[in-house]
Structure 1
Amino acid sequence: MLTQIKEATAYIQQFVTEPPQAGIILGSGLGNLAAEITDSTEISYNDIPHFPPATVEGHSGRLILGKLGGRPIVAMAGRFHYYEGLSMQQVTFPVRVMKALGIHTLLISNAAGGMNSQFKVGDLMIITDHINLQPEHPLRGKNIDELGPRFPDMSEPYAKTLIAKVKSIAARKNIPLHTGVYVGVQGPTFETRAEYRFMHIIGGDAVGMSTVPEVIVAIHSGLKVFAMSVITDMGIREEDNVITHEEVLAAARAAEPHLTYIFSELVQQL
């Protein structure tokens, strides 16, 4: 893995003019934040050594280098998922590469199903903790000490300092926010009604098919993490809760202006 990380990093560094301070992973339907990135250079995942191609609608498959809020960043317009048939090491490989490029903070967005009755479609939820129900772990296998410790502490996977900054940013703009626990599942099916109820009972407020592996590897790498979900459907409804990917994308795009503002302001304060 170390050789692959070095080869991918070396390729990307050809296009780096200033080492990025933050990495951003843009989830389903949330790729338009890329338009706010200035002095940008875009690299197709297909051109980066050892990067898998993006295959999911709403994920464009580009790595973007540039500036956001005047700060140098690297952004993933499109992420990888375990359900695509990739290993967890492949899913989280870009986090390793962004760390090697120099980032100290990782910002993540995703689309998620709501399981909290206080939520509605289009709401934003700051992730304060997560429950990992995915069937594989990105750190399984021999630990590579150069990348991080064998047993990383997960008591604060989402940095409280960054959460406080975002709450302040949102308050100034009167953007309503929720906080809650994100449940990570394999997918690619949306959940049954019984599964939604189960995950809410065990402490979940929102559920999705990403984020958790990336956060685990980020913490293993010594990065600070902030993550936010756009609530794109309400899985706890007992009736008429047929969910389509198209509806998820539409809800994510509608919420995107607030998400873009929050991420841009947060990057400025790093």
Structure 2
Amino acid sequence: MNKERVKAAGVAAEFIGNCQHQHIEETAIGVVLGSGWGDTLEFEEKIEIPFSTIPGFKNLPTVVEGHKRTLIVGKIAGKQVLALNGRLHLYEKPFSKSWLKMVRLQVEMLFHLGVKKIIITSAVGTLKCQPERFSRLADEFWKAGGTFPFPDPELQVGDIAIIDGFVTVFAPIMPLWGDEFCSADETISQNLIDIALKSQGDLVIAKKTGHAMLRGPQFEGNKYDKEILSKTGAGVVGMSMLPEAYIASLYGIEILGLGFVTNGYKEKHSHEENLERAKSASAHLGEYLKSIIAQM
């Protein structure tokens, strides 16, 4: 582990712990609130700390709509939660080493504050279910004791993707240094996936699927890109989540990835429309997250 990064994360964590004499519990749960998820949670005993005041994030610009970039410390379902309300994306400054350090730092400081479990959320788009993926999912369904009818594996706008793995071949360079070798297969906790599957109610449809990450900020093309991406077996595509998952896995943090589906695979892309759709579902998303947090 890079000593400079460990020291920087420790300084940031110490600053947060000293804010208003805030006591951080060892059982605190981390949450990354991505596009559309920012206003979904209702906290008790809440304080909010702007990223720009935390050491390591000085002179931080706010450039992406829907991302406040604050750290929220509060209680949900009786448990202390440390939530990043808005993330730093790789695509904002992909060639800046200092930016890569801050992308890391937002997760590293949570570890130094004691976080051992984290929920990483984002907005995602759907991919068409290819025959090979359909056959694999059907086989898993029947082997698990499922009964007729077999549920439609394709996610629709308004559904939640529970991420069970990542497609990395189209992803940008990750904020990893030197000998920090890690595998995307080791980033997701099956225990937390099971909790997420059990937590869906009548108002939320959640399905397990793979996530393909693209560099961004350009959207994938509907005509050709999505056809290629769907052949990987992934069910959704997005521009984030994987970097935070890699960094969290380096520190042994248990990870759950959740993507809110904001656009179908044939729709025209719109960041503003994505945020609006997530906003209209915020109450359902908040209750779903609260149910998961209560069981973690």
Q: Same fold (TM over 0.5)?
A: yes
Report which stretch shifted further, 212-221 or 254-263. 254-263
Larger radius of gyration: 2
- The Cα of 1:29 is off from its aligned counterpart by 1.7
Alpha-carbon separation, structure 2, partners of 1:5 and 1:54: 21
8 Å contact from structure 1 (residues 40, 64) kept in 2: yes
- The Cα of 1:49 is off from its aligned counterpart by 0.9
8 Å contact from structure 2 (residues 88, 103) kept in 1: yes
Closer, same or farther: CA 89–203 of 1 in aligned 2, 3 Å = farther
Matched, 1:3 2:39: no
- 1:249-260 alignment, distance < 5 Å: 249-260=275-286
**Percent of residue pairs identical:** 28
Displacement over 4 Å in runs of 4+ = none
8 Å contact from structure 1 (residues 67, 73) kept in 2: yes
- The Cα of 1:57 is off from its aligned counterpart by 0.1
Deviations 1:246-267 (A, max 9, x none): 1110111223222211211221
Matched, 1:72 2:76: no
Alpha-carbon separation, structure 1, partners of 2:229 and 2:31: 27
- The Cα of 1:137 is off from its aligned counterpart by 1.8
8 Å contact from structure 1 (residues 54, 79) kept in 2: no
Closer, same or farther: CA 54–106 of 1 in aligned 2, 3 Å = farther
Runs of 5+ unmatched residues, structure 2: 130-153
TM-score normalised by structure 2 residue count: 0.82
- The Cα of 1:102 is off from its aligned counterpart by 0.2
Alpha-carbon separation, structure 2, partners of 1:11 and 1:262: 31
8 Å contact from structure 2 (residues 162, 206) kept in 1: yes
- The Cα of 1:73 is off from its aligned counterpart by 1.2
Closer, same or farther: CA 154–29 of 1 in aligned 2, 3 Å = closer
Alpha-carbon separation, structure 2, partners of 1:230 and 1:69: 22
8 Å contact from structure 2 (residues 24, 114) kept in 1: no
Alpha-carbon separation, structure 1, partners of 2:61 and 2:80: 25
Q: 2:50 maps to which residue?
A: 44
Runs of 5+ unmatched residues, structure 1: 144-149
- The Cα of 1:153 is off from its aligned counterpart by 4.7
Q: 2:35 maps to which residue?
A: 28
Select the residue among 175, 186, 211 that pairs with 1:138: 175
DSSP 3-state at the match of 1:136: coil
2:293 partner letter? V
DSSP 3-state at the match of 2:80: strand
Q: 1:215 maps to which residue?
A: 245
Q: 1:128 maps to which residue?
A: 164
- 1:66-105 alignment, distance < 5 Å: 66-85=74-93, 86=96, 87-105=99-117
TM-score normalised by structure 1 residue count: 0.89
Matched, 1:182 2:211: yes
- The Cα of 1:174 is off from its aligned counterpart by 5.7
